[in-house]
Structure formats: C-alpha cells, structure tokens
Structure 1
Amino acid sequence: MRNFTSLSVIIAFSFLMFSFGSVNDESKLKNEKTVFEGVFKTNNNASLSAIDAESINNFYKKYPKLKTYQKDVEDLYKKKEYNLIWYDDKNVSEFGALLYEKVRLLSEQGVKAKMPYMELVDDVFNENVSNKLPQTDTELLLSNMYVFYASNVYSGVDPATLKKIGWYLPTKNISYTRILDSLMADPARLNKDENLLFGQYYKLQAVLQRYRNIEKNNQWKKIQIDSINYKDLKPFDSGAVIAQIRERLFFVGDLAQNSKSHVYDEEMMAGILKYKKRYGLKLNYTLTKEHIDQMNEPIGNRIRTIMLNMERCRWIPAKLANAQEYLMVNIPSFKLVYIKDGKYNLVSDVFVGTRMTETVIFSGMMDRIVFSPYWYVPQSIIKNELKLKMAEDKNYLADHNMEWNGGNVRQKPGPKNSLGLVKFMFPNPNDIYLHDTPAKSLFEFEKRIFSHGCINVKEAKGLALAILKNDPDWPEDKIDKAMSGEKETTCMLKTKIPIYIGYFTAWVNDNGEIGFYPDVYDRDKRLDKLLYSDSVALK
C-alpha cells in the first residue's frame, strides 16, 4: 500500500473545508500554500522550462495506454505556447496536488474509471519515494491526468456515441484549456462549478454520498414479509413489518424521526405519501407486495441509478437551466414542467410512446399552438390498424369523425379527436408533438406508455393558458372559443419556446428529495453496459 503520510490527511482536510465552508474563501487557499511548498520536489538539478512536440511524441511511445488523450494534451500545450503547466520552479504546483486529490476521490463524482499508470502519479505525490520520474514525464503525466479527469467529469460520453444511443438533446462544446484556466484561477471550482455542470448533477452527487453512507452503515435492511400470505398493509395495521418500513422511511428521509412504533399511524401515512410521490406512484396509503419488493431493491442498484443519471447530466449544457422560458418532459417520470423566469409555472402528468413506438429523446423550438386540431393519421397507423378496421366496418371512418383527405385520412376537430382540443407544435423529423387527449382515464395508471410516440398532456389547456398568459391577442375567452372543437385555429407564438424531451430515472428536487422512476425503455441497462462493461474501451 502506498504511503501518503500526513500529506493526504492535510489535502483531504482542505477539501473538506472547501465542501462545508465557503467555496469562495480565497484566504484559505493562500494560507494552505505553506503546506505544499517544498514537498513535491524532483530529483533533477536542471529546471525544465518548456515542453516541445518531440517530447510529447516520445512520451506517448513510452506510455501508450494514454494515447487516447494525446490530441487534447497537444492542444493544451499549443494554447499554452508549450510552457509548463504543473510546475512552480522545481516543484509540482499546489493546484496539481489539489487536482490529484480529486482524481483519487473520483468515485465521489459517480465515476468508476481508472487512469492508466496511476501508480506513477501516486509516486509523484508520495514524499517517501526517492526515485522520482524525470520532470518531462511528470509534467506530461499530470496533463494526461487532467484530461482524464475533465473528460470523465465534465464531458462524459462523446457526442458520436450519444447519437448511437439515441440521445439527441443539445450537447456541450467545451474547451479543456479554458476549463483549466478557470480552475487554476479559482481551485474551489473543482468542488462545484455550475458553469461547467448542469445544476442537477450536484444535487445527485449529494444524494449519492448520502446513499453510500446508508450502504456503508448497513442501514438498508431487507424488509421481511411472508411472500405467500402477504396482505396489503393499510392505515392502523400493526406488526413488525410496519416498524421495518418505518425505519427505511426514516433513513431515506421520508420521516423526520423513527418512533419504532409497530402501528401504521398518521405519521407513517405522511411518510408513505412522500415515498410514493418520490417514486411516481399512485398516491394512496395502501402498501402492496409490489411496493415492498420495490423497497427491497438492493441499495447498490439505487446507487448505480444515481451514477447513471449523473452521467446524463454531464451531457447537458450547464446554461440550459438559465433559459428564461422552456419546457421539459422527463419520460420515466411521465411529467412535463413549464418553466418561466426560473419558476415552475405548470407541472402536468403525461403519457408517452410504447416500447414499440418509443418517444424520441431530442429538443425543438415550439412555434405554434393549434386549437381544435385535425388529426392526420400517420400512414403506419392506416396500414397497420385502420385498413383492417375499415374492412370490417364500412362506417368506421364516419363513426369516428374521420374523412379521406387527398389520399390521407384525418379526424375532424371535436372532443373525441385523438389529439383532444389543442396541440403544441415544434417542427422535427420525428413528427412528435405535445397534445391534449380525450383518454383522460389513462392518466390514472402509474406506468403510462400508451401513445404512438407523441406526448399526451393531462393539463393541456392549462399549458396553453400559461404560455399565452401575457399575450393580449389571446385572452382566456378567445382560447375557450378556439377550443370548442368546431374549427381548427392556429396561434403562432411571438417567441419560440425551447422544449427538451429527456430521460432521467433519478431526479432531485429543490428540497433535496430524490425521485426514482421506472426504466421504461431499458436505457439504464444499455448505458450501464456502455459505461461499466469490462469490454468497453477507455474513454
């Protein structure tokens, strides 16, 4: 085992102070300078002042497992005019030591990757190792360590791979040089920088630490039930299982205290509602066997889910949440939110595409609202469904308020129209849009995958009212009339609204409460295999 002696303790303590103190307290950083001075010295008497292209090429011949980072490292030195990055005179800089400690604690970022030749980097920071590497090797190893860290924490999966796995939301365009400059100017950004990472990332990171502590302290105990003779638990039931459930609710934060009572009392009822809300379940007090099975999901699986969703947050531009107005749909939670001026103006249940007709993950710009719309039936539905029904019943079209229109079939406006009384359009090659629905009963289901790909919105009228609230040309009475189902009417929006259709199976709200949602399209499984399979090439 490598000996980090008192140095690691000092560095770890300084990062603890960063985490729980003021991350902008520059005086702390200055005071810590004496800790690092004179510790990271090389054995070379000559002082290296620059790196050249030849030394970089020779380095990758010597350390071929790092070649994947060569282009990014070359770019670093070109933009730094080949000056040294990691040395203050003959010593490794304080920032280099801080970055090293973050790499050693990479698991806190939800990352499992390990840098090749990390044992050599360890030697650089081990004061008991006398046979130090040449300065050139050390300098370039640390540059590779930086790119390794930045690519895993700030970038994640590359854009080409994202397209292969069907993620078409906007991605980042980041510069490792600019990131390095900002981090060196303010090392506290190593702990948190919402200019680099989507804010949800840090919320998930905090919950990741909490769940790992629960796992470490063996507080996620299996709830023992009689699977064969189990009866649904309801308020004021009693038994040992109630106490077990109560303990779980306490550890995950759904109960403020653990009374250890064996009675399903009012306090526990409130905790159960909180739990069910976090999991997107139907809000009632009954606890079925399925609910207990869900609670008995190994905590390791929950931790893995958090890590996967931290990875998804890496792909999203940090500035997205700063937009003045936007809509976001999260497929696994079956929720839509409309945000304006940083506030949630509307939250609505939705249902999305089936496994055969999955809703695509992408973004668009909403440019119009269509009231009392026609529904132009897709050719795939005509071919696979309507033709058979028309053959069985010659009056099928008329009975369903449909008509032929230039070789196509369309359903006329009305309360039974499959699109309901309003649709929200954002041009895209997938022909996906938001719309109302006459099938309101489908919102009673917990797992809502019913559509042919479009997103059916429960509060569709409320969304229209919220979007047009400040438009004097569209007062509420005009919207009511347009939604009468008599005539299709289009409202062109004066300002286009960004809409993002995403896929997050774990999401933390502003209160720090995490919601877990079903992996309805098995995307977690695929991403898990991509990130953690032994056969996956080094990023």
Structure 2
Amino acid sequence: MLQMTRSGLARIAAVVVTACAISTISPAPASAQAQMTGFRQAVAEYASDDRQLAKFYRESNFGAVWTGEGADFLQRRKALITELSRVATHGLPQNRYDAAGLIEQMRTAKTPRDLGMLDVALSKAYLSYAHDVQSGIVIPSSVDKGIVREVNYHDRAELMSDLINGDAAEVMRALAPHSPEYARLRKEMMRLHDLIALGGWGATVPGKKLEPGDQGASVIKLRDRLIAMGYLNRSATMSYDKTIEAAVQQFQSDHGLTPDGVAGTGTLTEINVPAEDRLKSVLVAMERERWMNMELGERHVLVNLTDFTAKIIDDGKVTFETRSVIGMKQLDRRSPEFSDVMEHMIINPTWNVPRSIAVKEYLPQLQKNPNAASHLRLTDVRGRLVDRGAVDFTQFNTRNFPFDMKQPPSSRNALGLVKFMFPNPQNVYLHDTPAKSLFGRESRAYSHGCIRLQQPFDFAYALLARQTDDPKGQFQSILKTGRETKVDLELQIPVHIIYRTATIPAKGKAIYRRDVYGRDALIWSELEQAGVVLGAVRG
C-alpha cells in the first residue's frame, strides 16, 4: 500500500532489518544427514511449481540461499526484507510480498523442513519483487490491444545466480530501472504523497471562464490554487492581473494547452484535477517505465502519443522536435504503442490504401458513384489498371472486394512527400501530410493510426545529417524528380512510440497530459487490483 512517508519507511526498515539480524535460524537437534535430507526434500517440494527456480535449486544441489549460517546468508535476508519494506517508494503494493509473514516464518522456523520451506519462500518473494520492479506488475497486452509493447522478462535462474554471486544489497538496489526519468518519477511520487497528506491543492475553482481583468471569489480561488501548485508566489491580489495571467500560461504549457493566459473551460478542468489523480498518472508512468526497462539507444526517435509530438533524442537531449497528429479515438484507428527500428525513408511515396480503409470508406463511395475518389487508382491482382466504368461495384462487399487502391506520388498524396519506415506488424510509420491545418489544433487525434509530422522535411534532414554533408541538398534533389525513391539510413534508429500522461523534465515542473485513449485509466485499474492503493499518508 502507498501509505507511508519517507520517515515512516525508514522506521519500518529499521524494525525488519533488526528482526532479520537477531533471528536465530537453528533447527532442533538431529543428525547432520537427517537435517540435510529434510531440508533438501522441502526445497525440492516447494520449488517444484516454479520451473526456473526448481532448476536453480537442483543445479545447486538444493543448497540454502537464505537460511544458512554466516554473514552472507544474514546479509541476503537483511537486504531482501529492507527492499520489501520500501516497495511503496516504487509504487508497488506493500502487502504483495508479505514481509511481515516472512519475518514471522524466520522467527518460528525450527526444523530442517521449516528451513527448506522458508528458503523457497524467501526466494519466491525475491523473484516476485525482482519481476515487478524490473518489468512491471501489469502485462501490457492484457490491458489494451493497442499496447503491443514487448517487455523484457529476466530469467529467474539468472536472477538467483546474480544474488548468489554478488553483494545482495547492491543486486537488489540495481533491479529497478536506471533511467533518469524513473528516478524523477519516484521523486515526484513522494512529493505528491507529502502534498496530499497536507490537503492537496485546496479548493477547486468554480466557473467556466476567467480572464485578465476579472475579479471576485473565483479569481481568489484560482490564485490560491496556482500558489499551492507552485505556479504563483504568495500574493494578496483579488484580480486577474499580469502575474496570474503569466502563471496560467505556464500551467497551460505544462499541460498541453494553448498558452493564451485565459482560464477557459479546458484550462479550469485541468487546474481542478486533484493531486490524487496526478499521483495516479505518475504511478502509471512508473509502471510504463518498467515495461521499457531497456537501452533506448544513444540516438532514438520518441513519439509521445498523449503529447502529440515526435522528437529525436541524442545522448539524452532533445535535438529535434515537431508536432504530430495521431490516430483517431476509435477502436480500430488508435495509434499503437511499441518499439522498433527505423531503416529507411521513402521520398515521393505511393499511398497503398490499406484494405480496411478501401472496403470500409471507399467501397461505399464507389457503389454510389464509380468515379468517386478519382485521385486513387484501382488495380487488379495482376497490377493492371481497372476501368471503373466497366465495373459494377454493388456486387462487392468487405470480404470479396478484389481490387487494390493506390494514390501516386504528389503533393496531394495522403502520405505527403515523405514517409519514414520501421517495418512492423502494425503497419504504422511516420509521414508527411497535406492536411497541415490540423497541426494548429490543441488535440490532434485525426489519423488512421500512423503518425503525421508537421515538419517532415526538417525531420528528414536531421536523420540524413549523420550520413551526408548536405542532407537538405540530397533530399531536395530526390524530391524534385517526383519519383518514388527509397533512401536507406546508414545508422538505423530505434523508434519508441509511447503513451505518457506524466513526464518529469530534468528542470521545471511535472508535465501532465490528458488520457487521450483512456489507456492509463485501464492500467490504473489493473494496478489497483494488484494492491496499489491511494490511502492516507502515515508518518
């Protein structure tokens, strides 16, 4: 349970570490052979339901990992109980690993069989914690079919070997993601816990719109809430003055809103989001970070769907950023989340209309008017151009439509003048678009699933700059031919399409975004079912 402050965690850790240190794990007198046999039988029996753990114990001749005598065994017990006592600082459920039960089991172990059962129980608790803190509690694919992220699950036998061969405390501390973002999320989580314990951000702001020049009780509540959020220094102003306007603009920028300085309906809705809900976003972001507990690449492309942006990251710093348009908020058009590798770009691309779009959108038009969508070419299975006037489209349906539809390269092509390819089963890529007006909107979920870029040419130049002295010249010379041309990337680049409603920059305040597709709400529900709760913070 997430119900403890840092001082509370320290006190609990001190208690459980002392319990491990003073526990005397010594079985009742018996022959050495009988003791060993009873211990090994218990280990074999209680580890049998875990194939990898059973393999580890079998290969180590069913020897003790935790319950032997000596400093190494004591240090492992202390390290484990210490970690389990502070799992809440990782946003994990405190009761999931039953540290208190393990301590009681240590206290009452009397026979070799007791010790064997205890050894396996401690190993299972360690492996359960290692799994959760390394790779997450929730299985992504169980939440939403649009989350197709492949999580790296570590071999359990290897985790046991790491423990045996290393310093236990260091091994366990190293389990969690090492990314700076994860560390910042943890810090923000604790800050929000402390804030909630003090009452959060205070009263919500009533009304539908407040703007510069306004006065009254609503403005005072807006002022007080901005002060509590850290966007405004202490002030006694009762009017919507320049300082409040500037604070509102900064809040809007941090929350993906148009920074016009006017607290309209959308802005007030975000201002009135309680600290508890922001904490949920942070906890979900930590879980998502555990799913991506891997090297992202010194240079990589990062697309945050909720932020409607695409970035190039070099050595942890943003070197290029552009606005994006993502998939519509419809079940079959929402952009998926996954990672892959960008291999090439295609300049002057042909748009091969996906079959789902062809039969769901264009076939009904053709049935009404064979000359509809005249910008698209119809071809048969042999690639021959189809004479529309000779076809009765009413005889076809979504299952038997026999034609392919294509749009030749042009500035009016649905893909624009360039697309960036990282071949994947989802058939998602980044591309240009002739629909430039959509980039001016605050919320930009309008595509069929692919990611449209506002500045695709500059994006291409940034990618090509690693392989040519004149990236713009090379790109433009190919573009002017009007011919579809594939340009391989000499340095293939990892692409990570993510979905984060909470991100923490190295400097400045936490950045929050709306849960565009409702995916975070589903993940939070799964975390709650696993035992993560937002309760009163205890000192």
- Shorter-chain TM-score bucket reads 0.7 to 0.9
The residue identity in structure 1 corresponding to 2:511 is G
Which residue is 2:479 aligned to? 483
Select between 486-495 and 258-267 the one with higher mean Cα deviation. 258-267
Out of 277, 285, 292, the position equivalent to 2:253 is 277
Query: Contact 2:138/2:527 (CA < 8 Å) preserved in 1?
Result: no
Seen in structure 2, the aligned counterparts of structure 1 residues 79 and 289 have a Cα distance that, compared at 3 Å, is: farther
1:408 and 2:385 aligned: no
Question: Secondary structure in 2 aligned to 1:318?
Answer: coil
- Compute the displacement of 1:110 (Å): 0.9
**1:333-366 Cα shifts (integer Å, max 9, x gaps):** 2221112343322112111111141212222222
The code of the aligned residue for 1:456 comes to R
Equivalent of residue 107 in structure 1, options 85, 88, 92: 88
Partner of 1:520: 516
The 3 A distance-change label for structure 1 pair 7 and 51 is farther
Q: Against the structure 1 CA distance between its residues 131 and 80, is the aligned structure 2 distance closer, same or farther, given a 3 Å change threshold?
A: closer
1:139 to 119, 124, 140: 119
Shift of 1:325: 1.9
Number of the residue aligned with 1:265: 241
Tell me what 1:208 maps to: 189
Shift, 1:191, TM fit: 4.7
- The CA deviation string for residues 453-510 of structure 1, in whole angstroms up to 9 with x for no partner, is 1111112111101000132275312322433483323212223222122222222222
1:238 to 208, 215, 237: 215
Q: Partner of 2:134 in structure 1? A: 154
The one of 454, 461, 467 aligned to 1:471: 467
Paired residues for 1:215-226 under 5 Å = 215-225=196-206
Alignment match, 1:452 = 448
Q: Measured at CA, do residues 45 and 387 of structure 1 come closer, stay the same or move farther in structure 2, by a change above 3 Å? A: closer
- 2:496 is aligned to 500
Aligned residues: 493
1:335 maps to amino acid: T
Tell me the C-alpha RMSD between the 2 structures: 3.6
Instruction: Answer 1 or 2: higher relative contact order, Cα 8 Å, separation at least 6.
Output: 2
**Alpha-carbon separation, structure 1, partners of 2:143 and 2:37:** 39
Would you say the 8 A contact 2:306–2:499 is kept in 1? yes
Change in CA separation of 1:217 and 1:373 when aligned onto 2, cut-off 3 Å: same
Decide whether aligned partners of structure 1 residues 389 and 246 sit closer, same or farther in structure 2, where only a CA change above 3 A counts: same
The residue number in structure 2 matching 1:510 is 506
CA deviations 1:358-388 (Å, max 9, x no partner) are: 2122222222211222222223323222244
Matching residue within 56, 66, 81 for 2:43: 56
Q: 1:187 — aligned with what?
A: 169
1:252 to 2:229 alignment: yes
2:536 is aligned to none
Q: Extract unaligned runs of 5+ from structure 1.
A: 1-5, 16-32, 61-66
Match of 1:123 among 101, 104, 122: 104
Distance 2:265 2:39 in 1: 66
- 2:130 alignment partner, SS class: helix
In 1, distance between residues paired with 2:355 and 2:449? 14
Counterpart position of 1:287: 263
3-state secondary structure, aligned to 1:365: strand
**Deviation (angstroms), 1:274:** 2.6
Partner residue in 2 for 1:351: 325
Match of 2:281 among 278, 285, 305: 305
Structure 2 residues without counterparts, runs of 5 or longer: 1-6, 384-402, 533-539
Equivalence for 1:24: none
Bigger drift between 354-363 and 485-494 goes to 485-494
Given that residues 326 and 499 in structure 1 are in contact (C-alpha distance below 8 angstroms), is that contact kept between their aligned partners in structure 2? Answer: yes
Q: Report whether the alignment pairs 1:171 with 2:151.
A: yes
Specify the code of the residue in structure 2 equivalent to 1:152: D
Task: Summarize deviations over 1:424-474 as a string: whole Å, max 9, x none.
Answer: 112222222110111111122222211111111112111101000132275
- The CA distance in 1 between the partners of 2:245 and 2:56, in whole Å, is 57
Alpha carbons of 1:122 and 1:202: their partners in 2 closer, same or farther (altered >3 Å)?
same
Larger mean Cα displacement after TM superposition, 435-444 or 168-177: 168-177
What SS class does the counterpart of residue 319 from structure 1 fall into? coil
Q: Find the counterpart in structure 2 of residue 40 from structure 1.
A: 23
Structure 1 residue aligned with 2:420: 424
- Residue by residue over 1:265-288, the C-alpha shift from the partner in whole angstroms, topping out at 9 and shown as x without a partner, is 333333323322222222221111
Distance 2:175 2:122 in 1: 21
Could you tell me how far apart the structure 2 residues matched to 1:282 and 1:160 are? 32
Match of 1:335 among 303, 309, 325: 309
Matched to 1:235, the amino acid is P
Report the Cα offset of residue 397 of structure 1: 4.2
Counterpart of 2:298? 324
**Structure 1 390/137 Cα, relative in aligned 2: closer, same or farther at 3 Å?**
closer
Aligned equivalents of 2:140, 2:225: Cα separation in 1: 41
Query: 1:214, 1:251 within 8 Å by CA — same for their partners in 2?
Result: no
Q: 1:432 to 1:161 in 2, by over 3 A?
A: closer
Please give the secondary structure, in 2, of the residue aligned with 1:447. Answer: coil
Mapping for residues 348-387 of structure 1, pairs under 5 Å: 348-354=322-328, 355-356=330-331, 357-387=333-363
Deviation at 1:326, TM superposition (A): 1.5
Q: Quick one: structure 1 residues 75 and 217, their matched pair in 2 at CA, closer, same or farther if it must change by over 3 Å?
A: farther
Instruction: Give the whole-Å Cα distance in 2 for the aligned partners of 1:535 and 1:130.
Output: 27
- Matches of 1:7 and 1:219, distance apart in 2: 20
Question: What letter matches 2:460 in structure 1?
Answer: A
1:441 to 410, 429, 437: 437
**Amino acid in structure 1 at the alignment position of 2:214:** D
- Find out whether 1:85 has 2:78 as its counterpart: no
Q: Is the 8 A contact 1:326 1:498 kept in 2?
A: yes
Q: Does the 8 Å contact 1:200/1:507 carry over to 2?
A: yes
For residue 89 of structure 1, what is the amino acid of its counterpart? E
Q: Is the 8 A contact 2:134 2:290 kept in 1?
A: yes
**Deviations 1:69-126, CA, capped at 9 Å, x for gaps:** x44543443455433222462686134223213312322211226237654324357x
What is the alpha-carbon distance in structure 2 between the residues aligned to residue 259 and residue 365 of structure 1? 51
- Shift in CA distance, 71/53, structure 1 to aligned 2, threshold 3 Å: farther
**Cα distance in 2 between the residues matched to 1:269 and 1:480:** 44
Normalised TM-score (structure 1): 0.80
In 2, Cα distance between equivalents of 1:459 and 1:494: 22
